[in-house]
Amino acid sequence: MHAHARKILVTPRSLTTVGHQALGRLSAAGYEVVLGPSGKMPTAADLVRLLPGCVGWLAGVEKISDDVLAAAPDLRVIARNGTGVDAIDLDAARRRGIEVRRAEGANARGVAELAIGLILALARSIPLADAAIKYGGWERRKGIELEGKTLGIVGCGKIGRIVATLATGLGMRVLGHDPFAQDSSDLPLVPLETLLAESDVITLHCPPPADGSPLLDAPRMAIARAGVLIVNTARHELIDIPALVAAIDRGHVSGAAFDVFDAEPPLDRAHLTSDRIIATPHIGGFTDESVDRAVDVAVDNLFHVLTGREGARC
């Protein structure tokens, strides 16, 4: 270790459990790597304790408030190991001169493949069938085939476009909605209300609305086609959960799948016991390949801000 080593905090759970070879690039450049609590999302108290003396932070999805940043007077850069930055107080970071960098698209393939997996699991009630057999039962719920069905993709960035390609391979018709994307022949863009009305399956790949209101509330779910399946691998805040539960109870929504929650682990699990709902513990980008890409990009981003160049790849 170099004398006067500067510290870099690393907090994503995928890295504090088993580490990652890309972190060796930081050590080799003379930085002291400080790991957050092993395999757990750090609390604000953890962060306030760990951040003093850190010039860089390779961050996960933990909440990063102004109070937390106040404990880090030397911090110059926060590099996320994913694309979402809505857990970060961006105004506070800007005021304090801290750059925030995202690992653009690094986990897109992992999230897209999970979304397709959840769509198939809902269409064929795979978790229900598996659980029934394991507990001595024999439950057969009639499924649907995806060929010829319409998939509505809300959010047509890198993840949404990979989902569109995979869904097209399954023989699905795809529609997109994204106020910031370009229309294209392989993914036609339509107003949200049109997408809701025409889709047999809806998958969300966008940030929450800026005003904090859910994108899918009771009135919008009422517009949706009867029997629709809904998949959310993006952000918990996108869906009004009580409205969704009510729509499932009356049969208007056939099923839903979530990879994102109000907290990790979730505070409210009452709705998750429904056999019409599939829940996975935020595993969208939790693949060997996505983690490798995301950590390499995040480490590159740390080096770009702290040294103006890329660190050597291991």
φ/ψ (deg, to 5) at 68: -65, -45
Which listed residue (161, 177, 235, 276) is catalytic? Answer: 235
Give, to the nearest 10 degrees, the angle between helix 126-134 and helix 108-124: 70
Let me know if 264 is a catalytic residue: yes
Four-residue CA torsion sign, 211, 215, 216, 218: positive
Let me know if 289 is a catalytic residue: no
Round to whole Å and give the CA distance between 254 and 277: 9
Beta-carbon contacts of 280 under 8 Å, excluding residues fewer than 6 positions away, are 114, 118, 257, 258, 259
Let me know if 235 is a catalytic residue: yes
Which listed residue (25, 109, 161, 282) is catalytic? Answer: 282
Token pair for residue 73? 């007077």
Beta-carbon contacts of 77 under 8 Å, excluding residues fewer than 6 positions away, are 55, 56, 57, 98, 99, 100, 101, 301, 302, 305, 306
Q: Do residues 309 and 33 make contact, with C-beta atoms less than 8 angstroms apart?
A: no
Q: Is 196 helix (H, G, I), strand (E, B) or coil?
A: helix
Beta-carbon contacts of 152 under 8 Å, excluding residues fewer than 6 positions away, are 174, 175, 176, 177, 195, 196, 198, 199, 201, 202, 203
Round to whole Å and give the CA distance between 89 and 202: 30
Which listed residue (6, 264, 304, 310) is catalytic? Answer: 264
Q: Do residues 70 and 270 make contact, with C-beta atoms less than 8 angstroms apart?
A: no
The one-letter code for the residue type at 228 is V
**Which residues are annotated as catalytic?**
235, 264, 282
